[in-house]
A and B are shown apart, each in its own frame.
Chain A
Amino acid sequence: MKAYTLWIIWLVAFLLGMTYLLVRMIFGEQKSEFLIGDTTYGHYQIEMACETCHTTPFGGQEVLQDACTQCHAEELEAAHDSHPKSKFTDPRNADLLAIIDARYCISCHTEHKKDQTHSMGLTLPKDYCFHCHVDIGEERESHKDLAFDSCASAGCHNYHDNRALYEKFLLEHADEPWLKEPLAQAGQALPSITESIDRQAALTPADANAPEHALETKVLTEWHSDAHSAAGVNCTGCHSSATEAWIEKPSHDQCVKCHSREVTTFLAGKHGMRLNPELTTSLQAITPGESEMSFHQDSLETRHGCNSCHAAHTFNTQTAEVTACLNCHADQHSLAYLNSPHGQIWQADPASDAAVTCASCHMPRIESTFKGEKFAVVQHNQNDNLRPNEKMIRSVCLDCHGLGFAIDALASPHLIDNNFSESPTQQVPSIDWAKAREN
């Protein structure tokens, strides 16, 4: 075959290939072939909604930064971010930015490089603190011989969230006992936010306004025993919308009408982020089988919506705060719960204010103000206080435990695995060092 013919074949094949890719990129629903690398644990759920982060093909890191802040700015603000972008914008930092451009999230959290990603989504070597704090040993005698990869991994500091770790806070809570009496979680004392909703007279099965085919005795009985009927929420309160007279299986789109804060936080977390309306591509709800965590085999295909944990018509919150979690999660920490001290207290009296459930720590009741009154809102973004785990010290642990105990326990991978079934044996020295500086 002549070279001329080969060139023609090559050119036609090239153009066909490029056209195929272009059409797939612009019109295709599945774009997995364009992923430039495995997506990290934080974003794999939405990796097929490319344009959610890559809002335009031309824009560089400013565009990506906008995408990061679109979802994460609010939580960083709430965390009193210790290293906001504004700390680095002065020109005097030009030499430091040449090493790590800390104005941009992706300088430390580069996506699609899973094999280079450490915990917290970090893609830099773990001793990154060195570049700006190289002199810390001269300032603090206690820090003189510490390795720079231990700053953020030993329970002492976090890059963004130090609300429970800053020196004055350590000192204020320095001498707390490991266990506070009486045991009570602050959020339990507050009424639920849904109690602020205008309530109607309680309903009975005779009032149910579902179509004939849906009036099952079991369903009516469950509904009548539930808070919804007691609050005057009839069948069509959930099973209808502005455009549909009857919805057979309501979704979070119906729940949000009364439970907006719960649904909003659900859609921000790993359970619900695929259903978030802010995504540029409509995705199916996540299933445990798509995660790298350990789950029970029979749960792998379960798509995650409100009813996955809050079974329709009963909406039993005690089921939702432990049983629903353990129906799917089968990692060491989850499997150890029922035999742990926390699990034992819950099993002894699930209704007790001292009962520590999965939700107590991972979906805590957060104080919120509505119409001038204080209520508890259940934070349904289970990752909001999870990573780094010191984020849960103030929102959860300090209700019952002293700060020193909480810091030590959360810094122990062994105790996390056995669901805090033992006392910490390693002490994080930060409180002692803070006290020493007072003398």
Chain B
Amino acid sequence: MKKIIPLSLLAASLTSLTGCGGEPAAKGIAPQKHTDSLFAVMNADRTNYTKLIIKRLGPDGVGAIQPEEHWKDFEAGAPLPAQMFRAGAEAVNEMTDDFTYSLQSSWPINKQNAPKTPLEKEGLEYVVANPGSNFYGEETLGDVTYFTAVYPDVAVSDACTKCHNEHKDSPKTDFEVGDVMGGVVIRVPL
């Protein structure tokens, strides 16, 4: 008892000094709201790049640029919308470990972009089967647990459907504008 009282007093004094005692814990943004906000930005940028750059300046527009997988090889080469999206994800990855994101599809042209983890597969199936809905879950990869959100990736222009329907490696060739072609997967480590 003699030892406990001084320790308690010490703890109380430290608490008063640091101002951490008794106050309600600061409320952080909920993971779901966090990923919803991130997706809003991603989706807006992705749609704008597809419509304002690729569609308007590409072969279906004024023909000033050449959207092409190996765009670095061409003077007027421009990254495809999926590559632009990926470039953003990679640039973010250079800046922060607080979240990651990727574009995936159950009908990927590049098979490396097929859903891989059980939660990705479940999420992709869900957003396709439930247009307009998002999917949320938790999963552990390596030794880290993530809040994982899957958002529908909708064909916003015939530039999307035309390219995917005509590509020799596309497993699905009857996409229409408005279809869910895949999903954006955002992960936040918990």
Contacts of A97 in B (CB 8 A): 142
Do the beta carbons of A89 and B90 come within 8 Å of each other? Answer: yes
Do the beta carbons of B102 and A90 come within 8 Å of each other? Answer: yes
Q: A86-B90, A98-B142, A139-B111 are in contact. Are A92 and B117 (CB under 8 A)?
A: yes
Identify the B interface with A (CB < 8 A): 69-70, 72-73, 89-90, 93-94, 100, 102, 111-112, 116-117, 120, 141-142, 144, 146, 168, 185, 187, 189
Beyond contacts A89-B93, A91-B187, A94-B141: 5 other A-B pairs, Cβ-Cβ < 8 A, are: A91-B141, A92-B117, A98-B142, A135-B111, A169-B70
A437 within 8 Å of B (CB atoms): yes
Do the beta carbons of A163 and B187 come within 8 Å of each other? Answer: no
Closest 4 CB pairs of A and B: A94-B142, A86-B90, A94-B141, A91-B141
Contacts of A135 in B (CB 8 A): 111
Q: How far is the CB of B131 from chain A (nearest CB, A)?
A: 24
Q: How far is the CB of A370 from chain B (nearest CB, A)?
A: 19
Q: Which of A86, A94, A168, A438 interacts with B69 by CB under 8 Å?
A: A168
Interface extent on A, as a size class? Answer: 10 to 19
Give the docked Cα–Cα distance between A132 and B114 (Å): 13
The residue in chain B whose Cβ has the minimal distance to the Cβ of A163 is B73
Give per-residue flags for A78-119: 1 if the beta carbon is below 8 A from chain B beta carbons, else 0: 001000001001111011011000000000000000000000
A-B contact count (CB 8 A): 44
Do the beta carbons of A169 and B142 come within 8 Å of each other? Answer: no
Do the beta carbons of A91 and B72 come within 8 Å of each other? Answer: no
Do the beta carbons of A92 and B102 come within 8 Å of each other? Answer: yes
A44 within 8 Å of B (CB atoms): no
Q: Which of B90, B100, B111 interacts with A91 by CB under 8 Å?
A: B100
A246 within 8 Å of B (CB atoms): no
Contacts of B116 in A (CB 8 A): 92
Give the docked Cα–Cα distance between A438 and B70 (Å): 18
Give the docked Cα–Cα distance between A98 and B144 (Å): 13
Supply 10 A–B pairs (Cβ within 8 Å), ascending by A.
A86-B93, A89-B90, A89-B100, A91-B142, A91-B144, A92-B185, A94-B142, A95-B142, A135-B111, A139-B111
Q: How far is the CB of A150 from chain B (nearest CB, A)?
A: 20
Give per-residue flags for A152-169: 1 if the beta carbon is below 8 A from chain B beta carbons, else 0: 000000000001001011
Contacts of B141 in A (CB 8 A): 91-92, 94-95
Contacts of A95 in B (CB 8 A): 141-142
For residues 119 through 148 of chain A, which have their beta carbon under 8 Å from a beta carbon of chain B? 132, 135, 139
Give the docked Cα–Cα distance between A28 and B11 (Å): 53
Give the docked Cα–Cα distance between A132 and B144 (Å): 21
Q: How far is the CB of B106 from chain A (nearest CB, A)?
A: 15
Give the docked Cα–Cα distance between A220 and B146 (Å): 75
Contacts of B69 in A (CB 8 A): 168
Contacts of A163 in B (CB 8 A): 73
Q: How far is the CB of A354 from chain B (nearest CB, A)?
A: 26
Q: How far is the CB of A431 from chain B (nearest CB, A)?
A: 16
Do the beta carbons of B90 and A166 come within 8 Å of each other? Answer: no
Do the beta carbons of B100 and A90 come within 8 Å of each other? Answer: yes
Q: How far is the CB of A296 from chain B (nearest CB, A)?
A: 41
Contacts of A89 in B (CB 8 A): 90, 93, 100
Give the docked Cα–Cα distance between A90 and B116 (Å): 12
Q: How far is the CB of A393 from chain B (nearest CB, A)?
A: 13
Give the docked Cα–Cα distance between A406 and B141 (Å): 44
Give the docked Cα–Cα distance between A99 and B189 (Å): 22
For residues 35 through 51 of chain A, which have their beta carbon under 8 Å from a beta carbon of chain B? none
Q: Which of A92, A139, A169 interacts with B120 by CB under 8 Å?
A: A92
Give the docked Cα–Cα distance between A97 and B142 (Å): 9
Contacts of A92 in B (CB 8 A): 102, 116-117, 120, 141, 185
Contacts of B142 in A (CB 8 A): 91, 94-95, 97-98
Give the docked Cα–Cα distance between A135 and B94 (Å): 30
